[in-house]
Structures are given as C-alpha cells and as structure tokens.
Amino acid sequence: MHKSNFSDWTLDLIDEAFGTKQIFVSEKLNSWLSSKYETSEYEKRYLLHLQSKLVLGGDEWNEVELDNKFISPVFMFSDFDNPQFAYFLERDMKTTMGEYEISGRIDGMIATGYRNPKNPFFCLNEYKKQTNPDGDPKGQCLIAMLAAQ
C-alpha cells in the first residue's frame, strides 16, 4: 500500500495510476446544467453583489480571503445545511484507491453527516493560482475530487 497526501499528486501521476482521461463533453453535466431554476430578485442581487466583489479583488485575494469573501458566502447562501448533509470546512479525508491510501485536509466539502462529514459529494481543495512551484494545483484538486468520489 502506497501512502500519499493530496499534495504529492500531479495530473500525469493521476493519469498513470488510475487511467484517467480528460473529457471535453459530458452528457450528465450538460443535462444537469440544462435544468431550469428561476432565481428571485433577492438571489440575483446578492449573487451579483458577490460577483462584483470577486471581480474587484479576486486576483489579489489569498486563499483565506477567497474562501471567506466569496466561496463560503455562496455555499451558505444556498442554505442546504441540515441534519442529513452540510458544508464542512477544514476537515481531514482519507480513502483507499486501488493500491494507494490517499489523505489530506479538504478546504471545503459538501457531505452527508451532521456534526462530521461521512460521504462526500463535492469538495474544494488546495486553492492556488494556476502555477505553483510547490506542486500541481490541478493535480491536487483532481485527486481530492477522486478521493471524494
């Protein structure tokens, strides 16, 4: 069993270890995105307000600022926390995928559970600018999403 942290992974290593391939069209995603939802005027105003703040400062924000000023307000505004599932922050996650035990701290995840996350649906991890000398941000994000899956 090979033990690793999310930060150890790159896109190339993930492709080699798990046979992943980038796709450019997803019927499931297209179907999900084509669903209809009517936003209220209040929702539109609030989301446009957050968007304007992101446009003004987003490129200069660090990870904590981006999370606190934009990502978490969007998730909290969706108001889906309940006794069955919630938005959890800064939680550890570990899973076994084939011959790899992969672990790391997730910045944010939507998961079943009330006080503690059980089965993740979606996670955000390792926000970084496009390139980082200390790792591969795309690879770290993908391995966290694969671990959640």
Per residue in 59-81, pLDDT tens? Answer: 788 878 888 899 899 999 998 89
Q: What are phi and psi of 108, to 5 degrees?
A: -155, 145
Domain boundaries, the chain: 2-21+39-148
Average pLDDT value for residue range 55-60: 85
Predicted TM-score (pTM) of this structure: 0.76
pLDDT tens-digit map of 5-37: 998 999 999 999 999 999 999 999 999 899 998
pLDDT value at position 70?
92
pLDDT tens-digit map of 92-141: 999 999 999 999 988 888 999 999 999 988 777 655 555 555 678 888 88
The answer on pLDDT for 55 being more than 90 is yes
pLDDT value at position 66?
87
User: Exposed, middle or buried by CB within 10 Å (0-12, 13-18, 19+), for 99?
Assistant: exposed
DSSP 95-145: EEETTEEEEEEEEEEEEE-SSS--SEEEEE-----S-BTTB-HHHHHHHHH
pLDDT value at position 86?
93
pLDDT value at position 62?
84
